[in-house]
């Protein structure tokens, strides 16, 4: 009898360990959906500008002090509050988003299913007072986290390739 109890306890413990370990692996049926949601968040982080839908932008950016955006040159934006300072420029009527194109987009999803990272090429075509202010052939990478069921960008890096 004692042997059966020990055996059942062992089976129960093994079952619990399997359940716990499976919780740390993204459900394959949801991986495709998550990849699509990550791609949508990436697009929304640029595409919002066409209609100046600032709330759409803020919905896909991590609203905390750990957010980081590295721009071409020496500019590094640290924290959501500093990121929001760009609103003065973006919402100015002299700024006009013309179009954008993302190509060669590659998205990876962590095994746990709560972190994604991407890289792509971006052409971000804009105007300031009718003059071009474009980022063309821009390398763009970033990291997203799934927070409370929603994908948000926690880090982005933009750079221009130098041709030698």
Does residue 152 fall inside a structural domain? yes
Residue 142: exposed, middle, or buried by beta-carbon count in 10 A (0-12, 13-18, 19+)?
A: buried
Q: Which residue has the tokens 């055996």?
A: 7
Please indicate whether residue 125 or residue 25 has the higher confidence score (pLDDT).
Answer: 125
8 Å CB contact between 120 and 33: no
Q: What is the rounded end-to-end Cα distance, in angstroms, of the chain?
A: 78
Tell me the per-residue pLDDT of 92-117, one tens digit each, with 9 for 90 and over.
Answer: 999 999 999 999 999 999 999 999 99
3-class DSSP assignment, residue 48: helix
Does residue 14 fall inside a structural domain? no
pLDDT-derived band at 161, boundaries 50, 70, 90: confident
The percentage of the chain sitting over the pLDDT mark of 90, rounded to a whole number, equals 78
Does residue 86 fall inside a structural domain? yes
Tell me the per-residue pLDDT of 113-152, one tens digit each, with 9 for 90 and over.
Answer: 999 999 999 999 999 999 999 999 999 999 999 999 999 9
Does residue 4 fall inside a structural domain? no
Task: Domain count for the chain, please give it.
Answer: 1
User: Alpha-carbon distance 35 to 123, whole Å?
Assistant: 22
The CATH number covering residue 62 comes to 3.10.450.50
8 Å CB contact between 90 and 61: no
What is the H or E stretch that residue 108 is in?
strand 95-109
Asked whether the predicted pLDDT for residue 10 surpasses 60, the reply is: no
Does residue 70 fall inside a structural domain? yes
What is the H or E stretch that residue 72 is in?
none
| Domain membership of residue 105 as a residue range | 29-160
Does residue 1 fall inside a structural domain? no
User: Alpha-carbon distance 9 to 99, whole Å?
Assistant: 62
Does residue 112 fall inside a structural domain? yes
pLDDT-derived band at 5, boundaries 50, 70, 90: low
pTM (2 decimals)? 0.82
Does residue 65 fall inside a structural domain? yes
8 Å CB contact between 98 and 126: yes
Tell me the per-residue pLDDT of 49-79, one tens digit each, with 9 for 90 and over.
Answer: 999 999 999 999 999 999 999 999 889 999 9
């Amino acid at each position: 009898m004692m042997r059966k109890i020990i055996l059942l306890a062992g089976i129960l413990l093994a079952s619990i360990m399997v359940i716990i370990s499976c919780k740390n692996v993204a459900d394959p049926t949801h991986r495709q959906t998550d990849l699509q949601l990550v791609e949508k968040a990436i697009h929304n982080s640029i595409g919002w500008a066409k209609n100046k839908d600032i709330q759409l932008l803020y919905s896909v950016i991590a609203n905390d002090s750990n957010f980081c955006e590295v721009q071409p040159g020496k500019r590094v934006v640290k924290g959501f509050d500093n990121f929001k300072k760009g609103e003065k420029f973006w919402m100015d009527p002299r700024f006009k988003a013309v179009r954008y194109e993302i190509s060669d987009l590659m998205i990876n999803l962590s095994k746990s299913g709560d972190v994604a990272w991407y890289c792509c090429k971006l052409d971000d075509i804009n105007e300031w007072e009718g003059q071009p202010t474009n980022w063309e052939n821009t390398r763009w990478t970033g990291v997203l986290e799934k927070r409370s069921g929603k994908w948000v960008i926690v880090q982005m890096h933009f750079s221009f390739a130098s041709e030698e």
